[in-house]
A and B are shown apart, each in its own frame.
Chain A
Amino acid sequence: MNAEIRPIKTAAETALAANFAAARCALPGAGAVAALREHAFRRFEVDGLPHRRVEEWKYTDLRALMRDAKPLAGVPDAATKARAGSAGAALAAAIEARRIMFVDGAFAPELSDLGGLESGLTIRSMAEALAKGDAQVAARIGKAVPTEDVAVALNTAFMGDGAVIRVAAGAALARPIHLVFVNAGGEGASVFTRSLVTVEKGARAMLVESHEGAGEYQVNAALELEVGDGAHVDHIKITGAGAGALHISSLMAAIGAHARFNEFLFTTGAAVVRNQLFVRFAGEGTVAHIGGANLLRGRQHVDTTLIADHAVADCTSREVFKSVLDDEARGVFQGKIIVRPHAQKTDAKMATHALLLSEEAEADNKPELEIFADDVQCGHGATSGDLDEDLLFYLKARGIPAKQAEALLIQAFVGEAVEGIEHAGLRDALMDQVVAWLRQRA
């Protein structure tokens, strides 16, 4: 008698159902892929949009935050692509990256830098792979880290385009790959991108993913990442999306043995952001650094939800997240470290720090450790507070005006997180973004 009674569907839920009914035949992929979509959509229909009584979504009540579901974005026309053309160009140039463009969720090869691909590197369109019935790609959808998460289910149901990237065993990419997702088609559309990146045994790759756009739109982006044994992968996601945007992103990463995996989330944009990270340690002896920095103002709401699943022994993970919250911004961090019974010698430490610049800003922290092994080192720490008055006085006493003194301390606070990024050019580029954000404050 405890079966939960589903309340009447919200406008957004109704619209999602209508969108799916209208689009299901046109979405790329038949057979197994179509079946995956149907299955995933039914998963969504059972529970509806997650809300505050769903523990994993406690602080980010999508039922309340998503007033409607926008229609699926159409194929971008020439004018839209022209508007999108320069997105991400400055960053790509600064880090000498290969820029791969997605406009309103659709791969734009004519805007992308596909010349002279390094040996062992292939970059393809997900929509094309699905439409052509590529069995290898289809077989991998949802496999890196299986999850029942509803946002991921929605992504699977609606997935349109995205990148399918393979870095062959032993290949070391000379240049970072920069995936640029830009919403240029104006207001009112929703975009579901799905990417699959496979970095095989012993290969080395750096993947930068940036999201931008203007106006009110909805993004549900998912990336499945397979990191092979002995591979070294850096993935940095920069979310600078439009002030009215709703941005949901899911990373599902399976990391092989003796690998190195560095993940960093840098977020300044969108009205509502949910960054979900599902990281599964699938091989022993791996070291992972997972971190991020949020700079938020106005009424921005950014939720970072991490599940680091130590399924095997001997892995090390470090999680460090920093948030700067101004005005009425809200930063949420939920971090769960799971250590499975056989994952002995796991060494996992998680830390979150929030800097509150206003009385109305809010930081919510929910660390969880689920440890089933007995020979492990796990810990977590969380701090939140405002700028240190004594430090500010020290700086001011040296002639530095109050706003500049604050900026210096905020920069230092964020800098400690950004410093963990291995690529010096990208570190500098992100610190420039921090300075630009601070300039808007003054």
Chain B
Amino acid sequence: MHLLEVKNLHVAVDGKQILNGLDLSIGKGSVHAIMGPNGSGKSTLAHVLAGKADYVVTQGEVLLDGEDILALPPDERAAKGLFLAFQYPLEIPGVATFEFLRTALNAQRKKRGEPELVVPALMKRVNEAAGKLGIGKEMLRRGVNVGFSGGEKKRNEILQMALLEPRLCVLDETDSGLDIDALKVVSDGVNALRSPDRAFVVITHYQRLLDYIVPDVVHVLSKGRIVKTGGKELALELETTGYAQYRDEAA
């Protein structure tokens, strides 16, 4: 059984159809890249997988381990091992990053029937994972993402991913707004989490990110459907030819 199966997914936002029969199967341990031009539905796919309210599924299924998750609220999807790394991580003044991590981790553990972690054990975990990503203790005391640079925000996303240990990670344009150094730190963080039990959906507009996070499979998304699937060389091909031909194909 595939870890994730998306079947004939149709999604509308504000009455406008964005996804038009998208199919996608992702096995454990694999990294799939989804590339496509602006407006092709990449972010919509990311948000609908995570369960954002204003995205209306008009048709189709999303199965995680064979179970349809479309009826589940976002927190339950997260507890089942789904993680969305946001393109634009939000700032939450007044909620300290450590408190946020503690609440999230224990909420998931509780939902799964696992014992909650006490602060000393948690502190150790958080500090270790944060250290690897170059996130200092001072940042952990600050409000979530408050005063963080673009790169710091993305690193904070990867920190959350590392701590929550999801099975399916969806990275929504994680490369946007990153300089090459930050891109490398974030990619190293992601690569360190690759494992036979964990799969990644890497959504990106540019091939550059895929030099660092090397995918097993590359899909081209256009007008709300996957129009081509190939190996990692497909990304390089797109880099030279652009998306124009796929726009025409889908039309």
9 tightest A-B CB contacts, nearest first: A412-B94, A399-B78, A399-B108, A398-B104, A396-B74, A394-B90, A396-B75, A415-B94, A412-B95
Chain B's closest residue to A393 (CB) is: B52
- For A394, the closest partner residue in chain B by CB is B90
Question: Given A404-B103, A408-B103, A412-B143, A399–B93 Cβ distance below 8 Å?
Answer: no
User: Which of B50, B77, B84, B103 has the most CB atoms of chain A within a 10 A radius of its CB?
Assistant: B103
Interface size on B, residues (CB 8 A): 29
How large, as a class, is the contact surface on chain A?
A: 20 to 34
Please state if B75 and A402 are interface contacts (CB–CB under 8 Å). yes
Task: Specify which chain A residues have a CB less than 8 angstroms from the CB of B51 in the assembled complex.
Answer: 396-397
Q: Which residues of B contact A411 (CB under 8 A)?
A: 94-95
Bound Cα distance A411, B52 (Å): 23
Contact of A399 with B92 at beta-carbon distance under 8 Å, contacts A393-B53, A393-B74, A412-B143 already known? no
The 8 A CB mask of B75-110 against A (1 = contact, 0 = none) is 101110001101001101111000010011101100
The docked-state distance in angstroms from the alpha carbon of A391 to that of B145 is 12
B-side interface residues toward A, CB under 8 Å?
A: 50-53, 73-75, 77-79, 83-84, 86, 89-90, 92-95, 100, 103-105, 107-108, 111, 143, 160, 164
Question: Which residues does chain A contribute within 8 Å of B77, judged by CB atoms?
Answer: 397
Q: Knowing A390-B90, A393-B52, A393-B74, say if A398 contacts B160 (CB, 8 Å).
A: yes
Does A409 have its Cβ within 8 Å of any Cβ on chain B?
Answer: yes
Complex partner residue of A412 from B73, B75, B93, CB under 8 angstroms: B93
Query: Given A393-B52, A393-B53, A394-B86, A401–B75 Cβ distance below 8 Å?
Result: yes
Q: Which residue of B lies closest to A414 (CB)?
A: B94
Q: What are 7 A-B contacts defined by CB distance under 8 Å? A: A393-B53, A396-B73, A397-B51, A399-B107, A401-B107, A411-B95, A413-B94
Q: Which residues from chain A contact B164 at a C-beta distance below 8 Å?
A: 398-399
Report the separation of the CA atoms of residues A413 and B94 in the bound assembly, to the nearest whole angstrom: 7
Partner of A404, one of B84, B107, B160: B107
Of the listed residues B50, B79, B83, B107, the one surrounded by the most CB atoms of chain A closer than 10 A to its CB is B107
Bound Cα distance from A393 to B53, whole angstroms: 8
Instruction: Kindly identify, within residues 388 to 442 of chain A, every residue whose CB is under 8 Å from any CB belonging to chain B.
Output: 389-391, 393-402, 404-405, 408-409, 411-413, 415-416
Contacts of B143 in A (CB 8 A): 412
Are the C-beta atoms of A396 and B78 separated by less than 8 Å? yes
Query: Which of B52, B94, B104, B143 gathers the greatest number of chain A CB atoms within 10 Å?
Result: B94
What are the residues of chain B within 8 A of A397 when measuring CB–CB? 50-51, 74-75, 77-78, 83-84, 86
B107 to A409, Cβ gap below 8 A? no
Expressed in whole angstroms, the minimum distance between the Cβ of B95 and any Cβ of chain A is: 5
Are the CB atoms of A400 and B53 closer together than 8 Å? no
Complexed CA–CA distance, A412 and B79 (Å): 24
Q: Does B73 lie within 8 Å of A402, measured CB to CB?
A: yes
In Å, the complex CA distance between A114 and B75 comes to: 53
Nearest Cβ on chain B to A401's Cβ, whole angstroms? 5
- The distance in angstroms between the C-alpha atoms of A396 and B104, with both chains bound, is 8
A400 touches B107 (CB 8 A): yes
- A400–B94 touching, CB < 8 Å: no
A residues in contact with B75, CB < 8 Å = 396-402, 405
Residue of B nearest to A398 (CB): B104
Q: For the complex, what is the distance from the CA of A409 to the CA of B90, rounded to whole Å?
A: 13
A408 vs B78: C-alpha distance when bound (angstroms)? 18
With A and B bound together, what is the CA distance between A401 and B77 in angstroms?
11
- In the assembled complex, the Cα of A402 lies from the Cα of B104 at a distance in Å of 12
B90 touches A391 (CB 8 A): yes
Task: Give the complex CA separation of A396 and B51 in angstroms.
Answer: 9
Nearest Cβ distance between residue B174 and chain A, in whole angstroms? 15
Give bound CA distance, A389 to B86, whole Å: 15
Please give 10 more A-B residue pairs, beta carbons under 8 A apart, in addition to A395-B92, A399-B164: A397-B74, A397-B78, A397-B84, A398-B107, A399-B104, A401-B107, A401-B111, A402-B73, A408-B92, A408-B103
**Which chain B residue has the least Cβ–Cβ distance from A389?**
B53
Contact residue among A393, A394, A402, A416 (Cβ-Cβ distance under 8 Å from B94): A416
Of chain B, the residue at the smallest CB distance from A416 is B94
Give A396's nearest chain B residue, CB to CB. B74
A19 and B79 alpha carbons, distance in the complex (Å): 63
Centre residue among B74, B95, B143 by max chain A CB count within 10 A: B74
